[in-house]
Amino acid sequence: MARIFTTSFASVYPHYVTKVEKKGRTTSELHQVIHWLTGLDEAGLQGRLAAGTTFEDLFADVQLHPRASSITGTVCGVRVEDVDDPLMQKIRYLDKLVDELARGRPMAKVLRE
């Protein structure tokens, strides 16, 4: 089992915020991306952060967006669509969306509209 599975989402979340804000995007846009992928509303997201929910528990409790499988590309040199472990693939989906947001990709493209 990868160590990231048991890492709390709340411990990684500030890094996501820093990454997108450093590139001129907002926390609100990050929340929009997280909502699109996981279906979590603001209260649900804040609850998971406050509870210290692990990535494993986070993705066990949510249903991914039906178009999540359209997320392709590489994260840390690994093609997202080729990741074998379903949980790791979900984590990579989130990482890829955050990367795209931080790189300035238009929100409509990040959200696969």
pLDDT > 90: percent of the chain: 94
Residue 1 binned pLDDT confidence (cut-offs 50, 70, 90): low
Domain presence at residue 96: yes
In a domain, 108, yes or no: no
The total of structural domains in the chain comes to 1
Q: The domain that contains 12 carries what CATH number?
A: 1.10.8.290
Computed over every residue of the chain, the mean pLDDT equals 95
The secondary structure element, H or E, covering residue 14 is helix 9-22
Global pTM reads 0.94
Q: What is the mean pLDDT of residues 82-95?
A: 95
Query: Three-state DSSP class for 106?
Result: coil
Residue 49: domain span: 3-103
Distance separating alpha carbons of residues 35 and 44, to the nearest angstrom: 9
